[in-house]
Chains A and B, each alone.
Chain A
């Protein structure tokens, strides 16, 4: 099994996790911040704070994580962990993403029954849900800024993103239709525009 490579060899020193324990606690910490989905926190922590990857690399990895079966953020943690420390890294990142959040969710389930009917609790959950939707939209806009250097050009990218949005959000088409058609077209045009 070949030794895993850092993301882009050739670039000079860039921050990376020190060891598998660092990976485990980094993913634990970001999973525990991720109310209503972990994606926004992953971008904030790994790209903006730790600088392990750029926005461009994040979008590319996220695309693969999204297409593979299984939960997206779980796939992403396996991919990133493997890149730095191979199978051990993948296991450490995966365990970080799941272990403490699972214990927390169990604890919540045990106390849930006492407080479920309290109106303030229901209201707090509603408010956090509204913010969580905004977090995802904000990350989407932030990542869209990374498309400026894209082979399809800004307008080509905007058109494809808009068609995807329309198909999924407005027409509510199944992902199994949208992804092959729009993704296939986007990849084919990109293939023609990049150097061999």
Chain B
């Protein structure tokens, strides 16, 4: 456990940093991860590289929104500042709350206001054109996200079982109503056995 000392101004800085990042997170929070690395690891030295990468990996593997990696980053900053034991947990919880509140407040408030405006004006031609016109773009974005995740598997020539697993789950989700947890469970078992 590498220990750091955080002054009240540092906690405030952490909160303000995430406040300022919130409205820039267009296209998902993970798109702003490089900037968090620059701030938390390189500039402030509040986290190690290993802690940073592990936070992202755990949040990706766990169920729930991927934005929770920010909660883990805050938790780890707090642990580093508070040390081991209850003091560390309290300080970890503080770090977690500051980061999550900071990153969520501005974007969620803006979304809420925009939704209300859009719903009140939902019969306007411009609002209808926007919502309907974006639909094909959104579907293209979904397929692109799936493609980028798939190509992270590596080379199709050597890692073809992984690509096959992705293709099979695509068809099963598209064509059947099989419960998604069965699919994920099957993926976990195949992976644990070393078959993919």
* Chain A residues at the B interface, C-beta cutoff of 8 Å: 2, 4-5, 31-41, 44, 48, 56, 59-60, 62-75, 78-79, 82-83, 87, 90, 94, 97-98, 100-102, 104-106, 108-109, 112, 116, 119-121, 123-144, 146-147, 150-152, 156-158, 160-165, 167-169, 175-176, 178-179, 182-183, 186-191, 194-196
The reply on B24 being an interface residue by CB < 8 A is: yes
Q: Please, which residue of chain B has its CB at the minimum distance from the CB of A140?
A: B142
Interface stretch among B5-13, B40-48, B165-173? B165-173
**B186 x A164 contact (CB < 8 A):** no
Min distance, Cβ A113 to any Cβ of chain B, angstroms:
9
Q: A63-B131, A183-B133, A189-B133 are contacts. A69–B24 as well, Cβ < 8 Å?
A: yes
Cβ < 8 Å to A, chain B residues 91-105: 96, 100, 103-104
Min distance, Cβ B109 to any Cβ of chain A, angstroms:
9
**A160 x B136 contact (CB < 8 A):** yes
User: Contact flags (1/0) for B129-149 with A, using CB distance below 8 Å?
Assistant: 111111111111111111111
- With a cutoff of 8 Å between Cβ atoms, the chain B residues found around residue A35 in the complex are 61-63, 184
Q: B66, B116, B192: which contacts A121 (Cβ < 8 A)?
A: B192
The reply on B60 being an interface residue by CB < 8 A is: yes
The reply on B25 being an interface residue by CB < 8 A is: yes
**A169 x B144 contact (CB < 8 A):** yes
**B75 x A144 contact (CB < 8 A):** no
**B137 x A186 contact (CB < 8 A):** yes
Q: What number of B residues sit within 8 Å (CB to CB) of A?
A: 96
- With a cutoff of 8 Å between Cβ atoms, the chain A residues found around residue B136 in the complex are 147, 150, 152, 156-158, 160-161, 164, 186
Summarize B's interface: helix, strand, loop or mixed. helix
- With a cutoff of 8 Å between Cβ atoms, the chain A residues found around residue B114 in the complex are 64, 68
The reply on B111 being an interface residue by CB < 8 A is: yes
Distance A162 CA – B108 CA, assembled complex (angstroms): 30
Distance A159 CA – B1 CA, assembled complex (angstroms): 53
**B140 x A71 contact (CB < 8 A):** no
Min distance, Cβ B158 to any Cβ of chain A, angstroms:
14
Q: A124-B188, A186-B134 are contacts. A37–B118 as well, Cβ < 8 Å?
A: no
The reply on B110 being an interface residue by CB < 8 A is: yes
Min distance, Cβ B87 to any Cβ of chain A, angstroms:
16
Distance A94 CA – B72 CA, assembled complex (angstroms): 18
Min distance, Cβ A161 to any Cβ of chain B, angstroms:
4
**A130 x B162 contact (CB < 8 A):** yes
The reply on B153 being an interface residue by CB < 8 A is: yes
Distance A36 CA – B69 CA, assembled complex (angstroms): 12
In the complex, 14 of the A-B residue pairs with CB atoms within 8 angstroms, ordered by the A residue number, are: A48-B177, A56-B135, A82-B119, A98-B64, A123-B196, A129-B149, A131-B184, A134-B165, A136-B145, A137-B147, A141-B174, A142-B174, A161-B139, A182-B137
Q: A38-B63, A74-B65, A109-B75 are in contact. List 9 more A-B contacts (CB 8 A).
A: A69-B23, A69-B106, A129-B149, A132-B187, A134-B183, A138-B169, A141-B170, A152-B136, A164-B137
